């Protein structure tokens, strides 16, 4: 393996390999040596392009966050632009859910990276949540609350918990799928199962946001 920087694509290849390995194995079980071997480079060359393991992990999580944020911000823009009626707001909110679910299905490595962190992988790197996850969740919750209030929907809903519920379920379904009565694991590549999950998520969001302050259903 070369000990010298080879070309401009090295950093991208290192980040791609690191993303895959961190998603599959987690931060703690992935060494810089393993990442280098995956792209045919030694540790010195990896360090030249991306720094040490912690710096490489931050770069991977930053890329994952930016890809996620791009989709979320675009979907929030559509949500905030929806009409003020309850029906328009519900439809726009479900559109937001669909956009996020589609992102998770198209980029399974991103949910996998975050789920590894939920298992306390790289727990000492607490700035990942402070810099990336926390602000984005807050931005989504504020926007959802604003459009719900405008439409007179869900005055008693804990919007932040609703946002977390969407994230938890989308990430978990994308990674684990469901188990059928025979014990087979059916994942998101099974379009019938994916459609079933999407409808369930729609029903959940519609039901929660349709509740009045006392927990009852609001007028449709």
**The predicted structure's pLDDT at residue 140:** 97
Angstrom distance (rounded) from CA 95 to CA 100? 9
Residue 129 placed within a domain? yes
Do 85 and 135 lie in a common domain?
Answer: yes
Do 46 and 18 lie in a common domain?
Answer: yes
What is the domain count for the chain? Answer: 2
Beta strands in the chain (DSSP E): 178-179, 185-186
DSSP string across 164-198:
HHHHHHHHHHHHH-EE-TTS-EE-TTSHHHHHHHH
**Domain carrying residue 21:** 1-51
pTM for the predicted model, two decimal places:
0.87
Do 20 and 80 lie in a common domain?
Answer: no
What are the angstrom distances between the C-alpha of 45 and each of 5, 51, 180, 210? 6, 9, 47, 56
Do 184 and 135 lie in a common domain?
Answer: yes
Q: For residue 211, give the 3-state DSSP assignment.
A: strand
**The predicted structure's pLDDT at residue 206:** 95
**The predicted structure's pLDDT at residue 127:** 87
What is the per-residue pLDDT across 32-74, written as a single tens digit (0 to 9) for each?
A: 999 999 999 999 999 999 999 999 999 999 999 999 999 999 9
**The predicted structure's pLDDT at residue 9:** 87
Tokens found for residue 108: 């399974």
Nearest to 49 by CA among 97, 94, 1, 14: 14
**The predicted structure's pLDDT at residue 219:** 45
CATH number reported for the structural domain that contains residue 135 in this entry: 1.10.357
| Helix-helix angle 32-39:10-25, to 10 degrees | 130
What are the angstrom distances between the C-alpha of 101 and each of 52, 66, 97, 155? 33, 16, 6, 25
| Helix-helix angle 86-106:109-118, to 10 degrees | 90
Ranges under pLDDT 50 in the chain: 1-5, 212-220
Q: Are 194 and 185 spatial neighbours (Cβ–Cβ below 8 Å)?
A: no
Neighbours of 178 (CB within 10 A): 14
Do 72 and 47 lie in a common domain?
Answer: no
CATH number reported for the structural domain that contains residue 2 in this entry: 1.10.10.60
Angstrom distance (rounded) from CA 176 to CA 185? 8
Do 69 and 87 lie in a common domain?
Answer: yes
């Amino acid at each position: 393996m070369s000990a010298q920087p080879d070309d401009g694509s090295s950093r991208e290849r290192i980040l791609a390999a690191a993303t895959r390995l961190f998603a599959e194995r987690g931060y703690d079980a992935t060494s810089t040596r393993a990442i280098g071997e995956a792209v045919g480079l030694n540790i010195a060359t990896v360090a030249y392009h991306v720094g040490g393991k912690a710096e490489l992990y931050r770069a991977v999580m930053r890329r994952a966050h930016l890809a996620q944020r791009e989709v979320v911000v675009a979907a929030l823009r559509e949500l905030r632009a929806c009409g003020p009626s309850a029906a328009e707001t519900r439809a726009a909110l479900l559109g937001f859910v669909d956009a996020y679910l589609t992102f998770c299905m198209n980029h399974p490595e991103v949910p996998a990276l975050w789920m590894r962190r939920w298992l306390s992988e790289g727990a000492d790197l607490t700035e990942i949540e402070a810099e990336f996850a926390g602000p984005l969740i807050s931005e989504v919750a504020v926007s959802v609350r604003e459009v719900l209030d405008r439409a007179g929907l869900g005055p008693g809903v804990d919007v932040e918990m609703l946002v977390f519920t969407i994230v938890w379920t989308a990430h978990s379904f994308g990674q684990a799928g469901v188990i059928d009565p025979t014990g087979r694991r059916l994942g998101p590549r099974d379009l019938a199962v994916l459609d079933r999950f999407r409808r369930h998520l729609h029903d959940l969001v519609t039901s929660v946001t349709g509740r009045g302050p006392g927990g009852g259903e609001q007028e449709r």
